[in-house]
């Protein structure tokens, strides 16, 4: 399926038409509340085949029976699920006409992150003319991908175009009934990304939702499905370092990764959603289910930098089903002001000679609470399984909290498990050392935090790592008393 | 009738046997209400995820054993630390045995809970301390509180130390087909006082027993308390041990738990630090086989600055045994300069054995040093080979390595006779004769 510039232009034109068609935005937003009719209506709106509608209904049925989980170490006002509109067409109208109208604080952050002007406009929701440059970039990308047989599109497109792949794999790693939010997402997911790497193909570039300009704004119930066929490799980036001001308070995404024999998936996330103001008002609730399945000799590596959201509830996991498979988890979670994060990973060892590594760095400042919650499970048949976990917490200020809840369950005697955790603060002597050499305290702290997070930052793709580093500095700004 | 209904019904019968005017009875009534409301813990509860009491609740336990069960000292001598002279508080099927015991009121009070509850001279102390450390939320503790009647009562006044260590021993004779015991101990160690206690539960036959024990320990300023729990019971015995320890400034309390036996053992060990410069030590050696299950739940709550806690639990799991370790450290915002250390090492030596461990930190202060480490693994093949190459048979070499693995927990045992005893138990448990004395 060759994709030419012409086609893209055409696509954009039809898109425009669509926009024109739905001039009345009100009429395209569903009434608040959730019931079977709404689920069917969402499915219909997206022109999905019948199996998909049934699949959604099954999830909805399960969701009705479930209770909202309360075990996480977070406190928040529970969302009223009947007071949310579950479908609204992406926001067509630009929020602002020019950059001058945008919140100056936001612009300041953009500047610090070094984001180009055009991108700034796009991110802040300023009307952008189709920038020739970025279109051509996107098109060249699409061309190269199509040549290799890589499918990279929105999930609704994939449901229509590649139903056999979607039907086979959707829900195979995160079943509809997996948990409360996964069930909700399965019932009402609005859109998301789909990616398929054929056998033996090494994806030539970092796939990123960020570049898929025609797919921006996938909504609050995002569904991602990445399939790496035998012997393939893909590196996938999600999110971006720029703060995004989303009005949707509740986000419940599901990400499923499938790495078939000898495949490797590297999934990196940078999350910087609105964390609420200094007093902890507002902010995004981020309840995400992410899980990957590794077949024989496969490898899945999760890297995440979490700095945003008022509430984060997220455990990217690996099911190491095949022999010799590898799971990795590298995470930095930063909380400031009134943010709360309960994040970690699950490594389920099923196959022989499976290995997993967990490196988690938590930094809490202000009045925030930061928890690591992880599970390492070695099943009876997983001989010679190996795990190394390290959870370090850094506390800045005496009003924040750091917590660790590592669960380790071993049912095989050949397993070797190591877990270590430390909690500390930035040493006064370290800061003094920097001060002495003419580095002011704020800079010194940035330096120390960077050193603390180095192990994880190193795992990010190059461009991302630089931005993420700056992001850490900004997130912790003003937190040092 | 399940066990919960039976317990609630028998509370009325229990009320006929105790003094209802005693203020303690109000505490009992409140506790039974709490138990009635919450019932037994189940596996859906986070703290009981890995330990199930379902089987035990189906057993028809007798709650009030018939009296007069005598034992001859020579028959049970081996269960005492007989190499050294000790005070003894001995219970047979939950009833105090004056014949086997050796108590005192000479300067210190080493006597019975029942007399402490009934005699007016103890009332001021009971008012201040009884049920003040124990959790009112924990349902099994409430259950014990409701049936408080007998147990050990130890009061060490200021600047005193008993002349010899104290042994608290519970025997069950098996005269009942299945017996449930609920001993309640209260230990108060005043300023600058010292105490050494050894506690043991022993069933003498293969009849089923369930012990739900609660111990409260209060250590005042500068007090030093060493508490040793020896758990080497038969396959038919289940033990739920709830220990609550409150410490004041500069006090040092250490608890050593040696779990070598029993069908199901659950240790809830809770430390609350109410002062500055406190030291708490929690150590344990667990060596299990058959289908045994041990669950260690520890809590250290650091509430004040400049305190230390040190935890070290070693476990060796063979055959079809299961082990659980859940260590929780809470550091309050006030508790700056806390130094908390926690370590849990496990050896799995059988395919069917399993270990679940969860070291947990909850930290609200920034100027602290907290670390925990946890490993699960097997014997070092190189070390094993090294020993074999020097003519030590494989079995002995393995035992030697396991012995060394468990041994550093023993270093802090301050009673040489007990140390020797535990050493022998470990060697016996590992099935070897160690050719050296320590």
Residue B381 maps to a domain: no
Total Cβ atoms within 10 A of residue B95:
16
H helix and E strand count, chain B: 10, 20
To the nearest whole angstrom, how far is the Cα of A281 from the nearest Cα of chain B? 22
Output phi, psi for B162, to 5 deg. Answer: -65, 150
Confidence (pLDDT) at A430: 86
**Do B90 and B233 fall into the same domain?**
yes
Average pLDDT over residues A434-456: 86
Contacts of B45 (CB under 8 A, 6+ apart): none
Nearest residue of chain B to residue A401 (CA atoms): B364
Torsion of CA A140, A143, A144, A148, to 10 degrees: 170
* pLDDT value at residue B271: 93
Contacts of A182 (CB under 8 A, 6+ apart): A174, A175, A176, A252, A254, A289
Contacts of A412 in chain B (CB under 8 A): 348, 351
Q: Is the ipTM of this complex over 0.90?
A: no
Classify residue B101: in a domain, yes or no. Answer: yes
- Give yes or no for B350 touching A (CB within 8 A): yes
DSSP string, B292-329: -EEEEEEEEEE-SSS-EEEEEEEEEE-TT-EEEEEEEE
Instruction: Give the domain-ending residue among B219, B241, B274.
Output: B274
Which residue segment(s) compose the domain that B438 sits in?
392-438
Asked if the C-beta of B366 comes within 8 angstroms of chain A's C-beta atoms, the answer is yes
| H/E segment holding residue A122 | helix A117-124
Task: Select from B236, B255, B274 the last residue of a domain.
Answer: B274
> Higher pLDDT residue, A117 or B177?
B177
Confidence of residue A2 (pLDDT cuts 50, 70, 90): very low
What whole-number distance in Å separates Cα of residue A175 and Cα of residue A55?
A: 11
Cβ A126 vs Cβ A91: under 8 Å: no
Chain A residues lying within 8 Å of B351, measured CB to CB: 380, 412-413
Same domain, B411 and B269: no
Percentage of the residues of chain A whose pLDDT score is greater than 90: 19
> For residue range B90-127, what is the model confidence (pLDDT) as tens digits?
988 888 888 888 888 888 888 888 888 888 888 888 88
Please tell me what DSSP assigns to residue A258. E
Question: Least CA distance to A363: which residue of chain B?
Answer: B366
* Number of domains present in the structure of chain B: 2
Per residue in A370-383, pLDDT tens?
889 989 999 999 99
* A82-100 pLDDT per residue, tens: 777 676 554 444 455 565 6
For residue B295, being part of any structural domain is answered with no
Q: Which of A20-29, A457-466, B18-27, B387-396 ranks highest by mean pLDDT?
A: B387-396
The residue ranges of chain B whose pLDDT is under 50 are: 437-438
pLDDT score recorded for residue B433: 65
pLDDT at position A155 over 80:
yes
Whether residues B367 and A418 touch (CB distance < 8 A) is answered with no
B422 touches chain A (CB under 8 A): no
| Predicted local confidence at residue B118, as pLDDT | 86
Residue B169 inside a domain? The answer is yes
Q: How confident is the model at residue A117 (pLDDT cuts 50, 70, 90)?
A: low
Answer yes or no: is pLDDT of A432 > 80. Answer: yes
Position B21 in a domain: yes
pLDDT surpasses 70 at A113: no
Residues B113 and B248 in one domain: yes
Is B327 among the domain residues? no
pLDDT of residue A89: 53
**What is the model's pLDDT at position B184?**
92
Measured between CA atoms, how close is A356 to chain B, in angstroms?
14
A147-151's contacts with Cβ under 8 Å and 24+ in sequence apart are A147/A2, A148/A198, A148/A201, A148/A203, A148/A204, A149/A198, A149/A201, A150/A195, A150/A196, A150/A197, A150/A198, A150/A201, A150/A203, A151/A194, A151/A195, A151/A196
Interface size between A and B, measured as CB pairs under 8 A: 109
Is B186 part of any domain?
Answer: yes
Report pLDDT for A132.
34
In this complex, which of A404, A408, A425 lies closest to B357 when CB atoms are compared?
Answer: A408
Q: Is A203 on the interface with B (CB under 8 A)?
A: no
- Is B320 touching A (CB cutoff 8 A)? no
Banded pLDDT at A118 (limits 50, 70, 90): low
Q: Flag whether residue B370 sits within 8 Å of chain A, measured between CB atoms.
A: yes
Selection from A91-95, A207-211, A245-249, B425-429 with the highest mean pLDDT: B425-429
pLDDT for A281 beyond 90: no
pLDDT of residue A218: 41
Q: pLDDT band for position A136 (50/70/90)?
A: very low
- Is the per-residue pLDDT at A126 higher than 50? no
pLDDT of residue B205: 83
Burial of residue B146 (CB within 10 Å: 0-12, 13-18, 19+) is buried
CA-based nearest residue in chain A for residue B316: A413
DSSP 8-state symbol, B63: S
CA distance from start to end of chain B: 52
What is the pLDDT, as a whole number, of residue A96?
A: 57
Chain A stretch 401-460, residues whose beta carbon is closer than 8 A to a beta carbon of chain B? 401-425
Residue B178 forms part of a structural domain = yes
Give the residue on B whose Cα is nearest the Cα of A388. B375
Q: Does B76 lie at the interface with A, CB-CB under 8 angstroms?
A: no
- Domain end call among B240, B274, B308: B274
CB contact under 8 A, B375 and A417: yes
Find residues 373-402 of chain B whose CB sits inside 8 Å of chain A: 373-378
Whether A74 contacts chain B with CB within 8 A: no
Predicted pLDDT of residue A110: 60
A410 and B355 within 8 Å at the Cβ level: the answer is yes
How far is residue A256's CA from residue A358's CA, in Å, rounded to a whole number?
A: 19
Which of the four pLDDT bands, split at 50, 70 and 90, describes residue A102?
low
Residue A297 has pLDDT above 90, yes or no: yes
Q: For residues B250 and B277, is the Cβ–Cβ distance under 8 A?
A: yes
Nearest by CB to B377, which of A395, A417, A423? A417
């Amino acid at each position: 399926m060759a994709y030419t510039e012409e086609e893209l232009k055409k696509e954009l034109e039809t898109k425009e038409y669509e926009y024109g068609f739905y001039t009345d935005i009100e009429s395209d937003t569903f009434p608040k509340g959730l019931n079977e009719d709404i689920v069917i209506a969402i499915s219909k709106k997206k022109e999905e085949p019948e199996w998909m509608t049934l699949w959604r209904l099954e999830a909805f049925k399960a969701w009705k029976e479930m209770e909202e989980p309360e075990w996480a170490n977070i406190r928040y006002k529970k969302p009223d699920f009947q007071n949310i509109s579950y479908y609204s067409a992406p926001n067509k109208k630009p929020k602002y006409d020019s950059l001058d109208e945008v919140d100056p604080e936001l612009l300041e952050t953009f500047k610090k992150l070094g984001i180009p002007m055009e991108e700034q406009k796009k991110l802040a929701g300023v009307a952008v003319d189709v920038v020739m440059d970025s279109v051509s970039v996107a098109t060249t990308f699409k061309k190269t991908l199509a040549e290799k047989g890589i499918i990279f599109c929105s999930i609704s497109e994939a449901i229509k175009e590649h139903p056999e792949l979607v039907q086979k794999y959707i829900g195979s790693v995160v079943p509809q009934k997996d948990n409360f939010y996964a069930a909700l997402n399965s019932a009402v997911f609005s859109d998301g990304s789909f990616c398929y790497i054929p056998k033996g193909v090494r994806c030539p570039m970092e796939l990123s939702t960020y570049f898929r300009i025609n797919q921006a704004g996938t909504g609050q119930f995002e569904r991602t499905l990445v399939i790496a066929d035998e012997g393939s490799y893909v590196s996938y980036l999600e999110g971006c370092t720029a703060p995004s001001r989303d009005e949707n308070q509740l986000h419940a995404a599901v990400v499923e990764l499938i790495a078939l024999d000898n495949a490797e998936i590297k999934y990196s996330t940078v999350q910087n959603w609105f964390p609420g103001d200094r007093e902890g008002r507002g902010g995004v609730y981020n309840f995400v289910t992410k899980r990957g399945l590794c077949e024989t000799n496969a490898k899945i590596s999760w890297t995440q930098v979490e700095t945003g959201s008022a509430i984060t509830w997220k455990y990217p996991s690996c099911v190491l089903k095949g022999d010799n498979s590898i799971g990795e988890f590298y995470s930095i979670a930063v909380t400031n002001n009134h943010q709360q994060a309960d994040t970690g990973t699950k490594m389920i060892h099923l196959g022989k000679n499976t290995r997993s590594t967990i490196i988690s760095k938590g930094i809490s400042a202000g009045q925030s609470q930061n928890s690591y919650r992880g599970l390492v499970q070695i099943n009876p048949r997983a001989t010679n399984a190996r795990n190394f976990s390290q959870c370090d917490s850094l506390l800045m200020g005496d009003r924040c909290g750091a917590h660790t809840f590592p669960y380790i369950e071993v049912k095989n005697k050949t397993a070797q498990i190591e877990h270590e955790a430390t909690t500390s603060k930035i040493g006064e002597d370290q800061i003094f050392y920097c001060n002495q050499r003419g580095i002011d305290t704020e800079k010194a702290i940035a330096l120390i935090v960077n050193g603390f997070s180095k192990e994880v930052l190193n795992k990010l793709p190059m461009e991302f790592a630089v931005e993420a580093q700056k992001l850490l500095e900004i997130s912790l700004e003003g937190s040092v008393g | 009738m399940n066990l919960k209904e039976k317990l609630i019904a028998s509370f009325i019968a229990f009320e006929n046997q105790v003094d209802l005017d005693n203020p303690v009875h109000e505490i009992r009534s409140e506790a039974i209400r709490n138990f009635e409301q919450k019932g037994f813990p189940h596996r859906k509860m986070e703290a009981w995820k890995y330990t199930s009491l379902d089987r035990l609740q189906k057993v028809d336990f007798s709650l009030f054993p018939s009296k007069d069960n005598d034992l001859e000292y020579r028959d049970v001598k081996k269960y005492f630390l007989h190499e050294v002279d000790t005070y003894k508080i001995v219970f047979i099927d939950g009833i105090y045995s004056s014949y086997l015991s050796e108590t005192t009121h000479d300067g210190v009070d080493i006597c019975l809970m029942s007399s402490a509850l009934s005699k007016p001279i103890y009332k001021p102390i009971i008012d201040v301390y009884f049920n003040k450390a124990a959790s009112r939320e924990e349902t099994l503790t409430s259950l014990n509180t409701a049936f408080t009647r007998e147990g050990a009562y130890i009061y060490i006044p200021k600047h005193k130390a008993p002349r010899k260590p104290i042994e608290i021993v519970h025997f069950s004779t098996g005269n009942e087909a299945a017996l449930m015991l609920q001993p309640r101990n209260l230990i108060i160690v005043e300023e600058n006082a010292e105490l050494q206690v050894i506690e043991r539960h022993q069933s003498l036959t293969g009849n089923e027993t369930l012990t739900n024990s609660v111990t409260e320990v209060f250590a005042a300023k500068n007090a030093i308390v060493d508490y040793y729990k020896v758990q080497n019971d038969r396959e038919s015995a289940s033990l739920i041990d709830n220990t609550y320890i409150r410490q004041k400034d500069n006090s040092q309390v250490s608890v050593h738990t040696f779990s070598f036996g029993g069908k199901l053992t659950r240790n809830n060990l809770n430390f609350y630090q109410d002062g500055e410069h406190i030291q708490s030590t929690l150590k344990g050696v667990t060596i299990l086989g058959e289908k045994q299950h041990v669950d260690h739940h520890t809590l250290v709550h650091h509430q004040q600055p400049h305190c230390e806690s040190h935890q070290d639990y070693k476990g060796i799991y063979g055959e079809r045994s299961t082990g659980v370790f859940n260590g929780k450290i809470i550091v309050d915002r006030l508790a700056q300069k806390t130094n908390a250390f926690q370590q849990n090492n496990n050896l799995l030596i059988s395919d069917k054995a399993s270990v679940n461990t969860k070291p947990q930190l909850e930290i609200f202060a920034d100027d602290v040093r907290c670390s925990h480490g946890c490993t699960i693994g097997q014997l070092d093949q190189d070390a094993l080979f090294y020993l074999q190459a020097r003519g030590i048979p494989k079995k002995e070499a393995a035992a030697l390595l396991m012995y060394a693995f468990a041994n550093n927990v023993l270093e802090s045992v301050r009673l040489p006779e007990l140390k020797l005893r535990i050493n022998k138990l470990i060697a016996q448990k590992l099935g070897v004769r160690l050719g050296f004395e320590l």
